Homo-oligomer: A and B are copies of this chain.
Amino acid sequence: MSWSGWGDPAKARELPEGVRALLRDLLGVRAPAEPAATLESVRLPPVALPAPLLGALAGVVGAGHVLTGHEARVRHTRGKSTPDLLRMRAGDGSAAPDAVVLPGSHEEVAELLRLCSRERVAVVPFGGGTSVVGGLAAARAGFAGVIALDLGRLDRLRSVDEESMTAEFEPGVRAPDAERLLAARGLTLGHFPQSFEYATLGGFAAARSSGQASAGYGRFDDMVVGLTLATPAGTLELGRAPRSAAGPDLRQLVLGSEGAFGVITALRLRVRRAPAERRYEGWRFASFAEGAAAVRALAQEGPLPTVLRLSDETETMIGLAGPDTIGSATPRGAKGSGGSGGCLLIAGYEGAGAGERQAGATAVLARMGGRALGPEPGLTWEHGRFAAPYLRDSLLAAGATVETLETAGFWSNLPRLYGAVRLALLGALGAPLVMCHISHVYETGASLYFTVVTPQDADPVARWERAKAAVNAAIVAAGGTISHHHGVGRDHRDAYGAEIGPVGAGILRAVKAELDPAGILNPGVLVPGG
């Protein structure tokens, strides 16, 4: 993983001329950004933890599993939001942990939490490091230091129960490894978010991830049927049945807790038979509103495709501008798109009953005014589904700021939410390029996912943070949730507080105080006023 960008640096790609022209002519991007700092030149604060404390940490996990070297610290600094990358490119390593600690078992995690509680060391649980909401930068004030608790050694598939169709994993398993381990038995999780190549199962659970095939496989929180959470107050084990009436569903309190309540050390996940085939296809609708009515019909009347994604007019149009995409896995409609204009919808079908669902959904989409474009746009989308973060690096280098943000709401409120977010972005950024798609649908509502491109000025981080604040306020005011699948982190914490109100925030603080009385777990993240 690139320390200052996304993914395998070997996969970095030049911007196609079409995109360069678009940046120049449409957005007025004139000059490339300053070259990124080298890893060696990143400025880190000195290690704050005293040697005896580092020794105590090594006493728990072994000396080889406490890293204080420059590269290890740089690689555990921040996540992968655009402000994170801009800061890293500028050589700003001020948020680096003092040490990276790699436990090898639940017991070692539990012992580390006790030790760090006693010694007031802040602990940032670290999976794939792909947070885009500031979920990995701890508040240092009041602590002896900060460690990144890297779960990479907890990387095993522990057991598979094919009768119950569940698999028990350790939290540090990366998604591609989980799929590979399951594929050997003909199974799949079916969880394919854009962070797929690097994110871990524990991170998916802690941040309530949702993947591109959520219509068919559900969100990650739907897949978690059991979990183990190590907390400073002890271990919590949950999940004796798929569902229960035995009180509140405490699993749903751990899911989305972003490392602020404890460290997930085991997950029991629902699995499915791996599909024999996957079919993706494109449809065109005259407008975003017409397309939204069609995906709503599928969500409410069925049948649901496995993948369902509708781009608005701008995202559809930009997809046509060149051989590559700007947005996050934006469908490219250049070939087989059946002409310009309107909105592109991608539908995918896999798993049991795929043929029947395709037939049923095809009838609904046609009835709602869709025009079938055949498999080509679907294949193009599939080919590029994890490419957008790589493209972002190229855009950042070229002098543009590109970032994504998202919300969700009930169907009747989506037009208001869509308008409010766009208006806030236009107000804050002048004339940015704003694209949107619907990629997660429910009977009662859906998510809206925005991609924004704007030229970099002298302080692109500050400029984006102003825009982001305006959008957060707009989402709260328009009645949406502050995140559908990115999470809260630090970036959404105040808006989240407004969303759940003082009573909701009080609940989170009370749970945090119960499980983490010393407040060492991911301080500053998630808990409003915490």
Given contacts A240-B409, A481-B241, A507-B253, contact A444 B270 (CB under 8 A): yes
Distance between Cα atoms of A208 and B243 in the complex (Å): 10
Q: Which of B166, B484, B507 contacts A444 (CB 8 A)?
A: B166
Residue of B nearest to A234 (CB): B503
Beta-carbon contacts under 8 Å, A173-226 to B: 207-210, 219, 221, 225
Contact of B243 with A442 in the complex, beta carbons under 8 Å: yes
Of A36-44, A56-64, A462-470, A509-517, the one contacting chain B is: A509-517
Contact of B257 with A503 in the complex, beta carbons under 8 Å: no
Contact of A245 with B487 in the complex, beta carbons under 8 Å: yes
Given contacts A163-B411, A247-B256, contact A240 B481 (CB under 8 A): yes
**Measured between C-beta atoms, what is the minimum distance from A436 to chain B in Å?**
16
Residue of B nearest to A411 (CB): B164
Contacts of A243 in B (CB 8 A): 210, 219, 221, 408, 440, 442, 484
Q: Which of B245, B301, B446 contacts A483 (CB 8 A)?
A: B245
Q: Does A399 contact B (CB under 8 A)?
A: no
Contacts of A300 in B (CB 8 A): 165
Q: How often does this chain occur in the complex, in copies? A: 2
Of A5-13, A85-93, A334-342, A493-501, the one contacting chain B is: A493-501
- Size class of the A contact interface (CB-based, 8 Å): 35 or more
**Measured between C-beta atoms, what is the minimum distance from A339 to chain B in Å?**
30
Given contacts A161-B412, A253-B253, contact A444 B514 (CB under 8 A): no
Interface centre among A249, A254, A526 (most CB of B within 10 A): A249
Contact of A163 with B412 in the complex, beta carbons under 8 Å: yes
Contacts of A412 in B (CB 8 A): 161, 163-164
A-B contact pairs, 29 of them (CB 8 A): A163-B296, A164-B445, A165-B300, A165-B443, A165-B444, A208-B245, A225-B444, A231-B503, A233-B503, A236-B500, A236-B501, A236-B504, A240-B480, A240-B499, A241-B445, A241-B484, A243-B484, A245-B256, A245-B486, A246-B256, A246-B481, A246-B488, A246-B499, A246-B500, A247-B488, A247-B500, A250-B504, A250-B507, A252-B252
Distance between Cα atoms of A361 and B236 in the complex (Å): 39
Given contacts A248-B257, A507-B511, contact A241 B208 (CB under 8 A): no
